[in-house]
């Protein structure tokens, strides 16, 4: 097990290194100094406390959709429907956050649960179709992505939800927000305190919320379920070998539905956190937002490890947020997407990386022999 995790760390490290090297070549071709570009990206992530805060905020939805995809992978299913689950989770959260009148502490919990339940139902439908009729989860979840997308836009045609003369829904009630110290930081006491503490003032300037803490809790919880519970054992057994699991008395169909329901709930929770902690509403979409697809990349970088999704999500969000500042050098910020693509490309080629590792080992062994 240790050598497997060692290999995974090696694959990830080499893939990131190759991504940065190829990115440097492209930057050089485009007439930009790679060193200057990476400095800008680094400063764009760590240059100010507000940049760090934005990186964490942007990481939350892709960490959770990454955990969603990783969970399904560990149980033998490919959850390509995280995007649709994210969208319906956003719908559930905005409906609960706007329509319900609840006390401040209870309201956000109920709205988060509504988002997770909506996402869970969306994922559960895919699991049901797979278990009952043998419908491939890739096909059905892609279709569910589009249904969720058009459902969101359709709901915004109703006056009870859509704000007049706007493409957005009404905002959630203040009691449903999961923002941290929102009222306090604009109060006289808060302003006086933050004036004395510049770092905290900068860090709290963006829409800092409880989402990052929730994402960490979910990562630990999913890791625990997969590795320390009977349910996790059954789900993984179905993923590794369906026939053997069935022979051992495990209900394959039920576990497929459970797996996709949990995966969907995680993506739905991601959508709910974005609504309750950052956007405050939902809007008409011209295209899918891409959080579910970014989650697939995060899951791949993390080796389908729920805990690894935290670091992979931060890396992904940091590169995207810091890379957005490359425009100050007069180059295209899209180059960072090429870097991420190359990282994923090499991570998905473990045999090539195995070959590289074995060659390095052989060279080290030869050097050791010569030295002796």
Domain containing residue 59: CATH number: 1.10.3470
Tell me how crowded residue 307 is: count the other CB atoms within 10 A of its CB.
15
Domain membership of residue 357 (yes or no) is no
pLDDT band at residue 14, thresholds of 50, 70 and 90?
A: confident
What are the distances in angstroms from CA 102 to CA 110, 111, 117, 175, 210?
9, 10, 18, 7, 19
Q: What is the pLDDT of residues 306-336, one digit of tens each?
A: 999 999 999 999 999 998 888 888 877 788 8
Domain membership of residue 65 (yes or no) is yes
- pLDDT > 70? residue 261: yes
Q: What is the per-residue DSSP string for 233-269?
A: HHHHHHHH-HHHHHHTT--HHHHHHHHHHHHHHHHHH
- What phi, psi does 47 have (nearest 5°)? -65, -35
Domain membership of residue 38 (yes or no) is yes
| pTM for this entry | 0.92
- pLDDT > 90? residue 366: no
Domain membership of residue 12 (yes or no) is no
Domain membership of residue 179 (yes or no) is yes
Domain of residue 54: give its range: 33-330
pLDDT band at residue 18, thresholds of 50, 70 and 90?
A: confident
In the chain, what is the straight-line distance between the N-terminal and C-terminal CA atoms, in Å? 32
| CA atoms of 264 and 113, how far apart (whole Å) | 12
On whether the CB atoms of residues 246 and 63 are closer than 8 A, the answer is no
Q: What is the pLDDT of residues 44-93, one digit of tens each?
A: 999 999 999 999 999 999 999 999 999 999 999 999 999 999 999 999 99
Domain membership of residue 311 (yes or no) is yes
Domain membership of residue 101 (yes or no) is yes
Q: At 230, is the secondary structure helix, strand, or coil?
A: helix
Domain membership of residue 10 (yes or no) is no
| CA atoms of 299 and 310, how far apart (whole Å) | 10
**Number of domains present in the structure of the chain:** 1
On whether the CB atoms of residues 127 and 260 are closer than 8 A, the answer is yes
Average pLDDT over residues 340-360: 71
Contacts with 67 (C-beta within 8 Å, 6 or more apart), sequence order: 215, 218, 219, 222, 266, 295, 299, 306, 309
Q: What is the per-residue DSSP string for 163-179?
A: PTTSSBBPPPPGGG--B
Q: Which residue has the higher pLDDT, 244 or 3?
A: 244
């Amino acid at each position: 097990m240790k050598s497997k995790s060692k290999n995974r760390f090696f694959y990830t490290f080499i893939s990131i290194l190759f991504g940065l090297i190829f990115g440097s070549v492209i930057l050089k071709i485009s007439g930009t100094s790679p060193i200057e570009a990476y400095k800008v990206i680094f400063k764009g992530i760590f240059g100010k406390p507000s940049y760090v805060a934005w990186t964490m905020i942007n990481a939350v939805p892709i960490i959770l959709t990454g955990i969603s995809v990783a969970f399904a992978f560990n149980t033998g299913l490919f959850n390509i429907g995280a995007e649709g689950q994210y969208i319906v989770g956003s719908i559930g959260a905005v409906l609960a956050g706007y329509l319900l009148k609840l006390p401040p502490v209870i309201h956000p919990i109920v709205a988060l649960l509504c988002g997770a339940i909506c996402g869970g139902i969306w994922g559960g439908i895919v699991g049901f179709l797979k278990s009952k009729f043998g419908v491939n989860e890739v096909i059905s979840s892609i279709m569910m992505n589009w249904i969720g997308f058009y459902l969101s836009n359709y709901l915004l045609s109703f006056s009870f939800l859509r704000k007049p003369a706007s493409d957005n829904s009404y905002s959630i009630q203040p009691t449903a927000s999961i923002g941290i110290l929102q009222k306090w930081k604009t109060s006289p006491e808060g302003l006086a305190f933050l004036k004395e503490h510049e770092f905290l003032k900068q860090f709290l300037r963006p829409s800092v919320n409880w989402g990052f803490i929730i994402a960490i809790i979910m990562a630990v919880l999913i890791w625990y379920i997969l590795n320390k519970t009977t349910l996790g054992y059954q789900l993984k057994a179905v993923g590794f070998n369906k026939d053997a699991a069935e022979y051992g008395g495990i209900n394959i169909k039920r576990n497929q539905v459970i797996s996709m329901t949990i995966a969907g709930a995680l993506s739905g929770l991601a959508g709910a956190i974005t609504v309750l902690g950052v956007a405050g509403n939902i809007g008409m979409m011209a295209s899918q937002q891409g959080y579910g697809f970014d989650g697939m990349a995060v899951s791949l970088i993390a080796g389908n490890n729920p805990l690894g999704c935290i670091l992979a999500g931060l890396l992904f969000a940091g590169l995207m947020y810091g890379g957005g500042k490359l425009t100050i050098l007069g180059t295209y910020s899209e180059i960072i997407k090429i870097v991420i693509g190359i990282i994923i490309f090499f991570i998905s080629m473990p045999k090539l990386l195995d070959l590289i590792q074995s060659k390095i080992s052989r060279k080290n062994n030869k050097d050791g022999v010569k030295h002796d």
